[in-house]
């Protein structure tokens, strides 16, 4: 029977070796995220939040501990299975928009659908999502013709085009001014409230964190509140 927890993390540790020195980035982290939650993770630089993000996304292996995503243990998955997970079930939005500059917004979104192995063509219902994101009329523009906020919303559309179980957002407003930051955060909240999209967002900004259901505070590789 499937769990209501889309993410389950237990006793997670990550140790990096820098020369002869060991740096403990995560020190026994436990975290549960329910399907449909919007969880903000805050903490100062070096608190371990980005390391946690990369481990949950299957980008970095932990030193020890357990990470369960949609009832699947990441440690028991092959490299190919983790790659497939990132293409279909776990999506990423970063501080940098990472859009291909020679492609239109529509093609930047379509390439994510293609890379996932989806050959069914455009999803008619996705047009409603594009309207929600406020970019339905900007799809034929290249990134250089879009504002920073519009580019990030295209990046969000690209991330969710395959209907992932989890959206991991790493400082999604870090490159935006206040107005565009508010727009992007409102979009994330709408995706969560109207579509039930599970979101795990890293931010250093308490005001941004307040858009989530709850805030997890990290310091020195531990969850402190």
How confident is the chain (225 residues) per 10-residue block, as mean pLDDT? 82 92 94 96 92 94 95 92 90 93 94 74 74 92 95 94 93 91 94 94 93 95 92
pTM score, whole prediction:
0.91
Q: How many CB atoms lie within 10 A of CB 73?
A: 11
- How confident is the prediction for the chain on average, in pLDDT? 91
Q: How far apart are CA 187 and CA 191, in angstroms?
A: 6
**Segments making up each domain of the chain, as ranges:** 35-60+84-223
CATH code at 35-60+84-223: 3.40.50.300
């Amino acid at each position: 029977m499937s769990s209501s927890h889309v993410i389950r993390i237990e006793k997670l540790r990550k140790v990096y070796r820098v020369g002869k020195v060991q740096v403990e980035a995560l020190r026994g982290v436990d975290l549960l995220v329910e399907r449909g939650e919007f969880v903000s993770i805050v903490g100062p630089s070096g608190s371990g939040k980005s390391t946690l993000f990369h481990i949950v996304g299957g980008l970095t292996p932990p030193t020890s501990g357990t990470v369960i995503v949609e009832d699947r243990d990441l440690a028991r998955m092959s490299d190919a299975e983790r790659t497939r997970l990132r293409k279909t079930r776990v999506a990423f939005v970063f501080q940098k928009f990472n859009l291909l500059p020679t492609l239109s917004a529509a093609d930047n979104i379509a390439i994510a659908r293609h890379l996932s192995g989806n050959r069914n063509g455009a999803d008619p219902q996705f047009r409603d999502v594009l309207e929600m994101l406020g970019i339905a009329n900007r799809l034929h523009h290249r990134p250089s013709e879009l504002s920073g906020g519009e580019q990030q919303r295209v990046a969000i559309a690209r991330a969710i085009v395959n209907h992932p179980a989890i959206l991991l957002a790493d400082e999604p407003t870090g490159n935006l001014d206040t107005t565009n930051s508010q727009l992007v955060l409102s979009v994330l909240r709408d995706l969560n409230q109207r579509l039930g999209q599970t979101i795990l967002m890293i931010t250093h900004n308490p005001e941004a964190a307040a858009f989530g259901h709850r805030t997890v505070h990290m310091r020195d590789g531990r969850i402190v509140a």
